[in-house]
Amino acid sequence: VQLQASGGGLVQAGGSLRLSCAASGRTFTGNTMGWFRQAPGKEREFVAAISWSGGSTYYADSVKGRFTISRNNAKNTVYLQMNSVKPEDTAVYYCAARSLIGWYRGVSESEYGYWGQGTLVTVSS
């Protein structure tokens, strides 16, 4: 099972970027998918999560109104649209799949059993 994150890069403050996370080896039918990030020298933190249907989403306060999580189950892919980015959004972004089926509206990493390798986003001021 692999989660392959892509789409990171260098972007100016105020700009936009879209991250993708493609799953292979299995489908995550019924699983909550999430994005986390880890800035230099800091612990990994929750960013956003989405239910299997896409009908439920949950965001960290720091990204609410700027980032949008979505998923295309036919393509087994989750996206993170990042708008109005700020220098403090600079981090390695990880996608993850929750181990259990069902919607999880929370921030705990321990709920997620499958992780991608991360993609670096750098926001210049």
122 phi/psi in degrees, rounded to 5: -120, 125
| 76 pLDDT more than 80 | yes
Please give the Cα distance from 37 to 54 (Å, whole number). Answer: 21
What tokens were used for 18? 């879209």
Report residue 26's pLDDT band, with 50, 70 and 90 as the boundaries.
confident
Please give the Cα distance from 88 to 83 (Å, whole number). Answer: 13
> Average pLDDT of 89-108?
95
Report residue 89's pLDDT band, with 50, 70 and 90 as the boundaries.
very high
> Average pLDDT of 74-93?
97
> Average pLDDT of 43-49?
98
Please give the Cα distance from 5 to 20 (Å, whole number). Answer: 6
| 1 pLDDT more than 80 | no
